[in-house]
Structure 1
Amino acid sequence: MPSAPSVVLNDLTFTWPDGDLALDGLTGSFGRGRTGLIGANGAGKSTLLRLIAGRLTPTSGIATVTGTVDYLPQHLTLDADATVAELLGVRAAVDAVRAVMRGDTDPANYDLIGSDGWDLEERAAAELAATGLPADLDRRVDELSGGEAMLAGVVGVRLRGASVALLDEPTNNLDGDARERLYELVRGWRGALIVVSHDTALLELMDDTAELRGGALTVFGGPFSAYRAWLDEQQAAARQALATAKQRLRVEQRDRIRAEAKVARSAADGRKKRANGDFGKAMFDAMKNSGEKSGAKIRGLHAGREAEAKAAVEAADLLIRDDDRITVDLPDPGLARGRRIAVLRSADGREFVLQGPERVALTGPNGVGKTTLLERLVGGEGLLAERVAYLPQRIDTLDESGTVLANVAASAPNTTTGELRNRLARFLIRGDAVDRPVSSLSGGERFRVGLARLLLADPPAQLLVLDEPTNNLDLDSIDRLVEALCAYRGALLVVSHDRGFLERLNLDVELRLEASGNLTTLAR
C-alpha cells in the first residue's frame, strides 16, 4: 500500500503583483522519497518551491506539507560578514552551547539548545568535513567559492533534518568533484526531497520524476531517463494516433464528396428523364421527394462520420508536444582557420594560443579563478580577436532601466526593429515583453535577454566566451544551444561544470586551470 504523500497541492493558484499568472489551479502531490522536478523555463518550478516552503502566499488554494519543510534557493543571499554557521542555519544554537560552556545560565540558551543540540557544533563540523569542506563554523561566507557556499547550504538542510527538503538548482555552481559529493549526500538523504534541476546525473538519483507543464503536474515513478523513455513512447504512440486519425479524416472527406456527387447525379438523372417525358409530374415529384430525403440522410451520415474524424484528429493533436523553446541561429563571422584569436597565459609562463574556429573548454575546481581568467581576457589581456561576446554567470551588464529591445539593439545597431523583434521571438521574448524594462524580468528572462544580446550581435562575434551557460536553461533549451554552438563557425571558449554539456560540443581542446594558476592541456 503506497505511503501518504509528503506534499499535497490543492487547486493552487499564484498571481504576481503585476497580474502575471504563475500557477493556475495546480493540483497534485509529491511522495516521501526523492523527486526531481523538471519543466521548461518559466513553467513556475521555483515559484512552486517557494509556495510549498511558505516563502510566498498562494492567491488561492493550498499547499499542505506533512511535517516540517526546509528550502534552499538557487542564489544564496547571505551578507559577506555571515559565517558558515549561519549558512548552515545553526548559529543561534551553537552560540547558545558556547555561552553555557562559558558559564552563562540564561534559560533562553537552554531553549535554543533543546535536548539534542549539545553536540550540534561537532556534528556540523563532521558533516562539512565529510563533504570535503573546511570544518570551521566561524569562517566567513565570502571566503567560500559560490560552489562551496551552495554545497554548505545543502549540508545545512540535511543537518537541520526537516521532514521535506526543497533544493532549487543545487548543482549550478558546483565543479565536478563537488557535484559528486552532492550526489553522495542525495543518495543517503533521509526524508522527502524535492529537487529542481536540469542536471541529468542528479535527476538519475531520484525515485520519482515530476514535470510541471501547461499548468499541470505529472509525477512518474522512476528517474529522469525512465521518464524520458516513457515520454518518448507516449509521444511516438500519439504521433501514430494522429497520423491514423488524419488518414481516417481524409477517407471520410473523400467518402462524403463521393456520396454527395452520387446524390447530385441521381437528382440530375431524374430531371433529365422528366424533361424527356419518361414519367409524369406526380411520379417525378414523388421521386424527387424520396431522393431529397435519401440525400439528406446520406449527407447527414457522412457529415457525422467526418465530424467524428475531425474530433479524433483534434484529440490526438492535443497529445502531441509542441513546446516553446529557444531557437538559436548563429551567423558566420568569417573567421580564418589560422587566425590567432586569444592567448591564455599560465602562471608558469606557458602560453596557450586559441586560433581559428577552435572550441576550447576551461575546466578546474571551484575557486581557482576560471571566471577571473575569462574576465581578464575579455578585458583585453591576451585578446587578439576584434569582436568578442561574453556571457557571464550572472547577467549584471544589462541596462536595468532600458527595455529588452533597447538592450539588444545596442549590440545590433544596424538591424531593424522589426527584424530584432522576429529574432527575439526565437528566444521566447515576444509581443509586449520586448518593451518591458529589464528590471521587471525574472532570472530566466534576464538570462534569455543576455543570451540574445550576445548571439544576435551585428557584426557577429569572432569569439564567444561563455561562463556556465547552462545554469539558467531548461533541458530542451540546452539541446538547442548545443546545436547552435556546434554549427557556429567562430571561436568558442566555455567554462562549464556540466560534463554532459561539454561532451556534446565537439571540443578541440580542454584546458584545466589548477589552484597554482597553471594551465594543463587535457585533450587536443
Structure 2
Amino acid sequence: MLILQDLSYQLPNKDVLFSNINLTLHSQEKLALIGNNGSGKSTLLKIIAGQLQPKTGFVKSDSNVYYIPQIFGQFNDLSISEALGIDKKLMALKEILDGSVTEENMEILNDDWTIEERIKEAFEYWNLPDFELNLKLESLSGGQKTKLFLAGMMIHQPDLILMDEPTNHLDFTNRKLLYDFIQSTSKSLLIVSHDRVLLNLLDKTCELTKNGISVYGGNYDFYSEQKKIENNALEQNIQNREKELKKAKEKERETIERQNKLDARGKGKQEKSGVSRIMMNTLRNKAENSTSKLKSIHQDKIENIRENLHDLKGNLSGIDKMKINFDNSQLHKGKILAKAEEINFSYNQENLWENNLDFQIISGERIAIKGDNGSGKTTLIKMILGETKPTSGNLYLAEKKTVYIDQEYSVIENELSVEQQAQKFNLTNLEEHEVKTILARFLFFKNDWDKKCEFLSGGEKLKLLLCCLSIQNLSPDMIILDEPTNNLDIQNIEILTSAINDYEGTLIVVSHDNQFLEDVNINKIISL
C-alpha cells in the first residue's frame, strides 16, 4: 500500500508547485496520474521514489518500489547493469561462483540465484538484443533505453511500479507488449501518460493540479465523460454568474438613482420649511454618507461576483479559442503532390526496405506513415520534403508549400522572444496590437511576450507554433507531423487535434499514437 498525506513541494525559486496532495494506492491497484504540462506529475513520482523530498507531508509505503523515469540522459555514462542497479549483485554472484563465498557477497546477493535467468527472460520479452551488460547507455536508442528500464520490472520484481510516459519512444509492437504487461500484472501501478490507449487499461484516473489530486473512479474514457459533465456545469455556472453580475450592476444603478431622487426631494422640502443652514449641511452630509454607503455595499457585491467569475473562467481550457485561421490552400482536391514508383534507399549497398515502395499522395488526403522503430519513416519524410533522393526508382514531387513540424518544434527559434517569433510570421503586416491579440488568444499574455523561446515547454512551443501559423494566415498545401504527441499532455494533444481538424489541406502524420490518428481522421496508410 502507498499513502501520500498532505504533500507539498516548493521549487528552488520558492514557488509552490503543488500542495494538499492526498492519495492512497492499494495493493494490485492500477492508477493513472494525469495533469497539464508543468503541474508536477514527474516531480510527484520522484518524491514517491525517494529521489526528492517534499516541503511538507509524508509518503508511507510498505512496498518495494521500482521507478521508470521519462528522461534517461542522466544514465548515459553508466553501464546497463549500473543503470538497472544490478551490477553489485551480478559481481557478487560471479565472485561466489568463482569461490569467493564471503559474508559480504552473500549479503549482497541475498539468495537471488536466478538473477541471470531473469535478465535473459526480461531481455527476450522486451525484444532487446543480447547486450553486454557493461555497455554504456549512451550507445542505445531512446526506444532501447525505455525497453531496458521496462525489463528492469521483471528483473527486480517490485510490488509497486512507477512509470513516467513509458510509451514515448516505443513503436506499435513494443507498445502492445507494454499494454499486455499492464493488463496481466498483479503489481500495483502508478503511471503518468498521455497515451489514451494505455490510460484506458487502468482502474482509476487521478488528476493533479496545483491544489491537490482529484480521483475519478474509472479509466480515461470515464474521466473524460465526468469532465464533460463538470465543464458543462462550469459553463452554466459562468452564464449564471454573468447574469448575476449584470443584475447587480442594474440594481446598483437603480438604487443610486432612487436615493438621489429621495435626497433631492428631501432637500427641496427642507428649503421650503425654512430649516437653518447648519441643519441643512448636517442633513446633506447624512444623505451623502448614506448614498456612499449604498455605493460601497453594491460595489463590494459586484466585485465579489466579478472575482468569482474570473476564477470560474480560469478553469476553462481555452481550446475553443485556439483556432488556426488559415486561408484555404490554392491547390485543387485530387492534384498529385507526390508519386513514388519502385523507390528504395540503400545504406552501404543494402536496401532500407525489403520491398520497393509505390504510392501516390493526393491533395486533401490524410495519411499516416506507420512502421516499427528503424523502418525508415524519417528517411521517407525527407524524400517527400525533397531533402533526400531515393537511390533507386522514381519519385515525382509537385511544387507545393509544406510545413514540417518535428518532435522538437524546431521551427521555433530558441534565441528569439515569444513576440519576436510571432513577428517573424507576420507576413501580412498586421498591426502590433493585432499580433498581440492573437498571442493572447493562444494564452501568451503580456508577461510572456519577452520570454525566450528556449524556456518554453513542449506544449507551449506547440501553442506558439499554431499561433504563428495563424498570424501568417497562409495555408500550406501540406502539413507533415513527426511524432507530434510525444512531448504533449492530454490538453495540448486536444488543442493540436482541434487545430488540425480545422485544416483542409494535405496531412501526413508519423505517429505511434493510434488514438490521435483516429481523431485527426486518417484515411490512408503507408506501411513500412
TM-score range for the pair, normalised by the shorter chain length = 0.7 to 0.9
Choose from 333, 356, 366 the match for 2:363: 356
> What does residue 487 of structure 2 align with?
472
Q: Does 1:133 align with 2:127?
A: yes
> What does residue 207 of structure 1 align with?
203
| CA–CA distance in structure 1, aligned partners of residues 268 and 418 of structure 2 | 71
The CA deviation at 1:176 is: 3.3
User: Contact between 1:22 and 1:44, CA under 8 Å: does it hold in 2?
Assistant: no
| CA–CA distance in structure 2, aligned partners of residues 428 and 253 of structure 1 | 29
The CA deviation at 1:400 is: 5.6
User: Contact between 1:245 and 1:316, CA under 8 Å: does it hold in 2?
Assistant: yes
Q: State percent identity of aligned pairs.
A: 27
Name the Cα RMSD after superposition.
4.4
> What does residue 496 of structure 2 align with?
481
Choose from 304, 317, 322 the match for 2:316: 322
User: Contact between 2:206 and 2:215, CA under 8 Å: does it hold in 1?
Assistant: yes
| CA–CA distance in structure 1, aligned partners of residues 288 and 440 of structure 2 | 51
> What does residue 376 of structure 2 align with?
369
The CA deviation at 1:108 is: 5.0
Where does structure 1 lack aligned partners over 5 or more consecutive residues? 514-524
> What does residue 404 of structure 2 align with?
390
| CA–CA distance in structure 2, aligned partners of residues 410 and 260 of structure 1 | 52
Aligned-partner SS, 2:46: helix
The CA deviation at 1:466 is: 0.9
The CA deviation at 1:287 is: 12
* Alignment coverage as a number of residue pairs: 500
Aligned-partner SS, 1:6: strand
- TM-score, scaled to structure 1: 0.77
User: Contact between 1:78 and 1:87, CA under 8 Å: does it hold in 2?
Assistant: no
Aligned AA (2:316): D
Q: Does 1:507 align with 2:522?
A: yes
> What does residue 97 of structure 2 align with?
101
1:47–1:349: structure 2 CA closer, same or farther, 3 Å change rule?
A: same
User: Contact between 1:126 and 1:135, CA under 8 Å: does it hold in 2?
Assistant: no
Aligned-partner SS, 2:484: coil
Aligned-partner SS, 1:171: coil
1:252–1:294: structure 2 CA closer, same or farther, 3 Å change rule?
A: farther
> What does residue 518 of structure 1 align with?
none
Alignment of 1:88-237 (within 5 A): 88-105=84-101, 108-115=104-111, 117-129=112-124, 131=125, 133-134=127-128, 136=130, 138=132, 146-157=142-153, 159-162=155-158, 164-237=160-233
| CA–CA distance in structure 2, aligned partners of residues 35 and 380 of structure 1 | 45
1:371–1:199: structure 2 CA closer, same or farther, 3 Å change rule?
A: same
> What does residue 27 of structure 1 align with?
20
1:411–1:288: structure 2 CA closer, same or farther, 3 Å change rule?
A: closer
> What does residue 520 of structure 1 align with?
none
| CA–CA distance in structure 1, aligned partners of residues 425 and 243 of structure 2 | 49
* CA displacement, residues 172-216 of structure 1 (integer Å, 9 cap, x when unaligned): 223334323212322344554322211222222333322233454
| CA–CA distance in structure 1, aligned partners of residues 436 and 52 of structure 2 | 34
Aligned-partner SS, 2:191: strand
The CA deviation at 1:14 is: 1.4
Aligned-partner SS, 2:73: coil
* CA displacement, residues 150-184 of structure 1 (integer Å, 9 cap, x when unaligned): 23422314542445432211122233343232123
1:349–1:225: structure 2 CA closer, same or farther, 3 Å change rule?
A: closer
1:426–1:285: structure 2 CA closer, same or farther, 3 Å change rule?
A: closer
1:351–1:261: structure 2 CA closer, same or farther, 3 Å change rule?
A: same
Aligned-partner SS, 1:193: strand
Aligned-partner SS, 1:126: helix
* CA displacement, residues 125-167 of structure 1 (integer Å, 9 cap, x when unaligned): 33444x4524735386789764454234223145424454322
The CA deviation at 1:493 is: 0.8
1:194–1:299: structure 2 CA closer, same or farther, 3 Å change rule?
A: same
1:298–1:86: structure 2 CA closer, same or farther, 3 Å change rule?
A: same
Aligned AA (1:11): S
The CA deviation at 1:101 is: 3.5
The CA deviation at 1:494 is: 0.4
Aligned AA (2:489): D
> What does residue 519 of structure 1 align with?
none
- TM-score, scaled to structure 2: 0.76
1:406–1:319: structure 2 CA closer, same or farther, 3 Å change rule?
A: closer
Aligned-partner SS, 1:334: coil
The CA deviation at 1:479 is: 1.8
* CA displacement, residues 289-322 of structure 1 (integer Å, 9 cap, x when unaligned): 9999899879967974774465356436534413
| CA–CA distance in structure 2, aligned partners of residues 239 and 484 of structure 1 | 22
> What does residue 517 of structure 1 align with?
none
Aligned-partner SS, 2:161: strand
The CA deviation at 1:437 is: 5.0
Higher mean C-alpha deviation, range 484-493 or range 60-69:
60-69
1:91–1:51: structure 2 CA closer, same or farther, 3 Å change rule?
A: same
